């Protein structure tokens, strides 16, 4: 079992609960939660309460909350992947924070791209630290060249890209390419940003592709989990051909 799979399994076993508080019995989010394999408990609110909301508990402790009006807007609106850094909407940043460390199934590539852009945007705003990214193949990295050129040229980030070498990426100062011969990383979509001068800015994403083209995975703001994810990616260094550009 790879380090990445062990990390995914460890997060999956954590006890978490979603609780929706609302004054009516409507279940407007039922399909979205079902598609993502999340169990939800519904609790009533007294009439006249200021607003409905979702609470997330992790191992019996409060982990986050978001108003249902905000959740409605995010889940019902088309998912738009920002073309440039610093275009991630505040709403998606809130959703990223609230749903941190929650394992989802049936995540789409577009959803993962939005989460990835939030992590890349955070790294861009911090401007220092290490960003490690696993693409299944270098050809998948081709469409992200503009983003990573900005990250490399406009910040002091140290960037490591891991992928199977089916295409030769351009040289980018500050970027180290890891050309992987082994196939385990091809099944994973992973990003890990160390947070730069403060670990509280650390964030990461890990997802594994299923035969249905959906993904099972999680994103996180937990510095310890991000550190473990970095270790999982660097464990492939000894199997990789490194090219410092």
| Separation between Cα atoms, residue 125 and residue 244, nearest integer Å | 24
> Looking at residue 60, what is its pLDDT?
79
Query: Of how many residues is the chain composed?
Result: 245
> Residue 44 pLDDT more than 50?
yes
Give the model confidence (pLDDT) of 72-124 as tens digits. 666 654 444 445 555 444 555 666 677 777 777 778 888 888 888 889 989 99
Tell me the pairing of strands 188-193 and 215-220. Answer: unpaired
Per cent of the chain over pLDDT 90 is 29
- Please give the mean pLDDT across all residues of the chain: 81
In this structure, is the dihedral angle defined by the CA atoms of residues 232, 234, 238 and 239, taken in order, positive or negative?
A: positive
Pick the closest to residue 228 from 210, 206, 196 (CA basis): 206
In this structure, is the dihedral angle defined by the CA atoms of residues 107, 109, 111 and 113, taken in order, positive or negative?
A: positive
Q: Contact at 8 Å (CB) between 242 and 159? A: no
> Looking at residue 180, what is its pLDDT?
81
Per cent of the chain over pLDDT 70 is 80
Pick the closest to residue 88 from 118, 116, 108 (CA basis): 118
> Looking at residue 205, what is its pLDDT?
94
> Looking at residue 81, what is its pLDDT?
45
User: What are the phi and psi torsion angles at 6 (to 5°)?
Assistant: -60, -40
Break the chain into its structural domains and give their ranges. 3-244
| Separation between Cα atoms, residue 117 and residue 89, nearest integer Å | 10
Section 196-208 average pLDDT = 91
> Looking at residue 239, what is its pLDDT?
57
> Residue 213 pLDDT more than 80?
no
pTM of the entire predicted model = 0.79
> Looking at residue 88, what is its pLDDT?
46
CATH level 3 topology of 3-244: Endonuclease; Chain A (3.30.870)
> Looking at residue 206, what is its pLDDT?
94
> Residue 67 pLDDT more than 60?
yes
> Looking at residue 79, what is its pLDDT?
45
Instruction: Name the β-bridge partners of 110.
Output: none
> Looking at residue 133, what is its pLDDT?
95
Distances (CA, A) of 41 to 26, 38, 70, 226: 12, 10, 19, 29
């Amino acid at each position: 079992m790879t380090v990445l799979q062990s990390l995914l399994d460890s997060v999956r076993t954590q006890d978490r609960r979603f609780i929706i508080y609302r004054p009516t019995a409507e279940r407007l989010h039922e399909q979205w939660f079902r598609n993502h394999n999340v169990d939800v408990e519904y609790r009533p609110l007294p009439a006249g309460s200021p607003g409905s909301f979702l609470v997330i508990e992790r191992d019996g402790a409060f982990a986050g909350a978001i108003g249902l009006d905000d959740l409605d807007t995010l889940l019902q609106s088309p998912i738009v992947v920002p073309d440039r850094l610093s275009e991630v909407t505040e709403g998606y940043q809130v959703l990223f924070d609230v749903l941190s460390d929650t394992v989802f199934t049936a995540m789409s590539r577009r959803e993962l791209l939005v989460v990835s852009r939030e992590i890349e945007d955070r790294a861009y705003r911090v401007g220092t630290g290490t960003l490690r990214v696993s693409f299944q193949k270098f050809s998948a990295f081709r469409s992200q060249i503009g983003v990573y050129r900005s990250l490399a040229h406009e910040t002091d980030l140290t960037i490591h890209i891991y992928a199977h070498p089916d295409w030769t990426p351009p040289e980018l100062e500050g970027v180290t390419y890891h050309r992987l011969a082994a196939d385990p990383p091809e099944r994973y979509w992973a990003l890990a940003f160390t947070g730069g001068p403060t670990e509280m800015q650390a964030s990461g994403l890990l997802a594994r592709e299923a035969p249905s083209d959906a993904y099972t995975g999680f994103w996180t703001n937990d510095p310890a989990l991000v550190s473990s994810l970095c270790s999982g990616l660097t464990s492939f260094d000894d199997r990789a051909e490194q090219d410092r550009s």
